[in-house]
Amino acid sequence: MKMVKKLPGPGFEAILLLLSVFFALSALSCRAGDSTVPGEVSSPYPTVANLAFEWRIEGDDDLDCAVEVAYRMAGEAKWHRAMPLRRIPAGASVDARRPFTWENKLSGSIFDLKPGTEYQVRLRLNDPDGGSAEKLLTVKTRPVPRPAADAAEKWVYPGTLKDSAAAAKPGDILVLAPGYYGDFALPCDGLPGRPVVIRSDRSHDLINSTFDSIDLTGRKHVIIEGVTVYGSIDLVGAEEVAVRHCMVNAKYGIIAKNSPGCKNCYIADNVVSYVMPWIGLGMGCCMDDGGAACVGEGIQLTGPGNVICYNRVSGYRDCISFMEDRPVYDQRCIDVYNNDIYVGADDGIEADFSMGNCRIMRNRLTNCFIPLSSQPGLGGPAYFIRNVMYNVINTIYKLSRSSKGDVVLHNTAVKVGDGFMVSHNPSLALFRNNLMIGGQGGDEPGGRFGRYGSGPGYAVFFPRLSPTCDLDYDGVGTHGTQFKATVGRLETDSFEEFTRRTTEKHAVLVDMSVFADGVEFPDPAIPEREPADLRLRPGSAAVDAALLIPNVNDNFTGKGPDLGAYELGREPPHYGPRPPGVDEETAQQENNP
């Protein structure tokens, strides 16, 4: 039999051709998934000092799309840089009682702008895998709420307030004579630029127009100013309502706890206080009885566009708090800044379930079990910038329940136990330029502070570090204990190894000597301590050691920005209530000299 060599026929060639086409299409598909298709741009809920931007996109599976941000006041020639927008991949909440989802986008804020002012904003999107676009927007910040220029003053008395309020017209100012007004529900609304104003008589040194409660449910364009309330001020359903220079002494102070919460409200310059003590068994959820006796919320709300600034809040379980789980409603673009927090037995500022562009800035927190909470952040960014924390017991940043998108910049914290302590599981978090010192006086979990401890005194304790988190340029150290760090799987007692084997390549080793003379390490943490002056000492390791971040620290004074909340040579910001007549116009100059 004659043997014939069989050559590859058309069937084999077709298979090779199909395979080559398949691999080419697969490669093209991968590149297409990595490229970006720009979508809608929005600027939701402008506040009096900050602007937010969201740019929805499709694609960018490798998360390398970037958006540069520049801004200028209308009529100004020079553009100013701001932080780039943060890349927020689409996602969903974890272990929430009702699910929350968010879309694929880039998002971020411009900080410390002038109120009631028009700005041009330029956004430039670019993806190295394909996709680019530029958007030019004109956006205006909200004005600070004020009475109408031609407002008519009408005197009212305890027996006439209800009738006078029922007859009030937009723009009226009801001036309260001294006296007791009981429970009061406002029955009328103002109009944009013409709010109904209810205020105490300013000719008296003491605030002596007193209420048992004030109900502003569903009200619009109202200003309440200078009164004393021994119960709640309820803002559920309120829009464009201001509460200023009031004294509130109640278990639940200024609140909007149910859907739809309040919208674009302005809560400023108030003193809100309760009676939670600073004692070992009075610590929030860590009490031996499970926290049953730990109650009270100072300012607690849900809803978008709200501003909580320059208040003094003390003696609560949570001093300033967003809502959690089921009551949450559109918690975007909420500003919490320049507040003075004193004794928060659980959380000082509980910015939980932030849905993006919530800004927690320049607050002073003293004697707080946990000063800053993001439990969780829902995509983000949730900004924590230039907050000062002294006498902290548990973790500095509670980024738990799979918090996503937290941005932690230029904060200063001094606490017993572990310093840079993040004992939970955040992802997509950014840490830069923070100054954090722990040390002696701490305990392992189960120690003297209840069922949550403060740690034994590590400089860094971040064991559940996601590879999506980005940490660098932070100042870390301890007082009275040796340097130790736990970062992910790394456990070391060497600062050099810590910087070599983590992303903290530019970290700085610090101790209490970075502060000006007279700052005492808060051991023991109980009894409570007065706020400390945590300004930097000239020539210390924290000076000129920070990374430049536009619109955050570009007003530095030396060779570069300083670590922590305070820039050497600048006066600290004002915390708590301002004198009457001082508003964000002055504050904007103070925060960005």
Q: What is the pLDDT of residue 593?
A: 34
Instruction: Look up the CATH number of domain 36-140.
Output: 2.60.40.10
Give the per-residue pLDDT at 296: 93
Q: What are the tokens at 519?
A: 């700052």
Quickly state the pLDDT bin for 583 (edges 50, 70, 90).
confident
Q: 291 or 546: which carries more pLDDT confidence? A: 546
Output 133 or 99, whichever has higher pLDDT: 133
Q: Compute the mean pLDDT over every residue in the chain, rounded to the nearest whole number.
A: 91
* Bigger pLDDT: 323 vs 285: 323
Please give the pLDDT value at position 517. 82
d(CA 329, CA 323): 8
Flag the least confident range among 21-25, 67-71, 83-87, 262-266: 21-25
What tens digit of pLDDT does each residue of 414-466 get?
999 999 999 788 999 999 999 999 999 988 665 667 678 899 999 999 999 99
Q: Indicate the pTM of the whole model.
A: 0.92
> Which residue in the block uniquely carries the two structure tokens 């021994």?
230
DSSP state of 217: T
Over the range 68-89, which residues count as b (16 or more CB within 10 Å of their CB) and which as e? bbbbeeeeeeeeeebbbbbbbb
240 and 192 Cβ atoms separated by less than 8 Å: yes
Taking the C-alpha atoms of residue 382 and residue 409, their distance in angstroms, rounded to an integer, is 11
Name the burial class of residue 391, with classes exposed (0-12), middle (13-18) and buried (19+) by CB atoms within 10 angstroms of its CB.
buried
Q: So what's the pLDDT on residue 451?
A: 73
The DSSP letter of residue 587 is H
- Please check the confidence at residue 286 and state whether its pLDDT lies above 80: no
pLDDT band at 385 (very low <50, low <70, confident <90, very high): very high
Least-confidence region, from 137-146, 197-206, 334-343, 394-403: 197-206
pLDDT at site 537: 97
Report the pLDDT value the prediction gives residue 105, as an integer from 0 to 100. 98
Give the model confidence (pLDDT) of 8-48 as tens digits. 445 555 554 554 544 444 444 445 599 999 999 999 999 99
In tens, the pLDDT along 481-506 reads 999 999 999 999 999 999 999 999 99
- pLDDT digits over 40-65, tens only? 999 999 999 999 999 999 999 999 99
